[in-house]
Amino acid sequence: MGGRILLIEDEGNILEAITFILSRAGWEVQGHGNGATALDAVRRVAPDMVVLDVMLPGRSGLDILRDLRADAATADLPILMLTARGQAKDRETALELGATGYLTKPFSNADLVATIDRLAADPAGHARGAG
């Protein structure tokens, strides 16, 4: 696959690991670690996909997701929620708000790359809930 991913993740070691994994798989990855300025980062980077943590400093990833879906410019942008929150209710909430996919930490490198590639191959979001 390939393209530009904006990774919104506040844990430096996770940000570095995911950047390495996805770069090796052919993706250009830019990181951002603050929820309060995440929307500005999305507008500035204009990514092909966003990988978004739920728990961020400054602003919840779910609030960011809600705002991205409300904006016509980002309403159809593939967004993978990547979080330690693995309860069914957390997944349901994210999908109801418009997440294209949901992957819980810890995850395998292969699962992450496969999920990203699947979401990129179907940008209309037909894979909602997968991952």
Q: pTM for the full model?
A: 0.91
pLDDT > 60? residue 8: yes
User: Which residues on adjacent β-strands are paired with residue 3?
Assistant: 27
What is the residue extent of each domain of the chain?
3-121
Given pLDDT bands bounded at 50, 70 and 90, which one contains residue 46?
Answer: very high
Question: Which tokens belong to 113?
Answer: 């790359």
Among residues 111, 57, 105, 59, the alpha carbon closest in space to that of 81 is found at 105
Burial bucket for residue 72 (CB in 10 Å: 0-12, 13-18, 19+):
exposed
Given pLDDT bands bounded at 50, 70 and 90, which one contains residue 123?
Answer: low
Q: CATH top-level class for 3-121?
A: alpha beta
pLDDT > 90? residue 22: yes
